[in-house]
Each structure stands twice: as C-alpha cells, then as structure tokens.
Amino acid sequence: MVFDEKNTLSPLLIALWLMLACGLYISSIPFLGNIRIDAVALLIIFLGLYRPASLSLNLAFFAGLMQDLVALAPLGQHALGLTVVAFILHYLHDEARLLNRVMQWVLVLGCLILLKFLSSWITALSLGILPGLAAYGSALVTSLLWPLLLALALRQPRVRRPAS
C-alpha cells in the first residue's frame, strides 16, 4: 500500500480489516495467557496516522462497538476509548508522521495505554476496583506489532521495468 493521505480506503476493505482485527483480538495466543493483541486499536491508530482521510469518529465509534460485541463486553467500553484516540490522532497525525520510528512507536504505545486506561476505569466504575499494572501487558505486546504493521502496510509495490 502506497501512502497517500488524501486517498480514502474502500469501506469494504475497512470492514474486512475490522473483522480480521476483531478475530485477532479474541484469539488466544499460545504462551501469552490472558494477554490479547488489540488489533482493532492498532488498525484505528494506523488509519489515524497514515490514512486520516479514511478515519472518522463515526468509524472509530463503530469499530469500538464491534469490539465490545465480539469481546462480550458492555457496549461502549471500547467504543469510548477508540473515539477519544481517533479524536486525538485527528489533530496529531501530521506531526506524528514526521517522528522517527521509535518516537512513533512510543506514541502508539501511549495511545494503547490510554485506551486500556479508559477501559479499566469503566470496569472500575462497575466493579469498584481498578485493575493492576498487569492489565497493561496487552498494550505493550500490541505496540510491539506496530513496526510489523508498518512494514506490511506501507511497502512499496514492485514496478517492473520495461525491457529495453
């Protein structure tokens, strides 16, 4: 996929990615225990940074509701966090793309921690107890996949040179 800020992605393609991300989110990864890869959040952050024309608050909210449904979580728990992150990225994407890869990874980790923080507080409001630091393990593991996602999504297509 070649980076082009103004070019929007097809809704069908986004819907397909979203379904795949939801599937990955509920997948149990061997040896990781309860830690899950928050692929939906990663997708929203990627769209927010590299395809901002494709990411609206509506899409982020809808993605969050889908994530709530597949995770059998209360409706709104993930939707709120993803909408807030999409809102922040709307104002940050220009500066964020100028950052080097390490700083960009830190930004992604920050977004994932913010998502987890909001989700944890919503859980705390119902259960009365705030989850411990171990709950943020999934944010760290998910952020480690950011370089891989960039490498796959932003790879340049091979152009065959005409035979001279």
Partner 1 sequence: MANDRHLFRRGPASVNALMFFAFVCAFLLAINYLTDWLDPVRTRVLNLVSPLYQVTNIPQELRQWGDANFASREALLVEVQELRDQNLILQGRVATMATLSAENTRLRQLLNVAELVEQRVLITEMIGVPPGSEVHRLIIDKGAGQSLFVGQPVIDADGLIGQVTRVADDYSEVLMITDRSHAVPVQSLRSGTRAIAEGAGDNFLRLRNLPVTTDVQTGDTLVTSGLGGRFPKGYPVGQITSVAIEDGSPFLEVLVEPAASLQTTRHLLLLFSDRQTRSLAPE
Enumerate binding residues for partner 1 (CB under 8 A): 8, 10-11, 14, 23-30, 33-36, 52-59, 61-62, 64, 69-77, 79-80, 83-84, 86-87, 90-91, 119-120, 122-123, 125-129, 131-132, 134-135, 137-138
Length of the chain: 164
Residue 104 Cβ, how far from partner 1 at the closest point, in Å?
Answer: 20
Measured CA to CA in angstroms, residue 61 lies from 13, 58, 64, 104, 150 at distances of 17, 5, 5, 23, 23
Nearer to partner 1, 74 or 94 (CB): 74
The contacts of residue 155 (CB under 8 Å, 6+ apart) are 1
Residue 79 Cβ, how far from partner 1 at the closest point, in Å?
Answer: 5
Nearer to partner 1, 58 or 155 (CB): 58
Distance between CA 119 and CA 31 in Å, rounded? 24
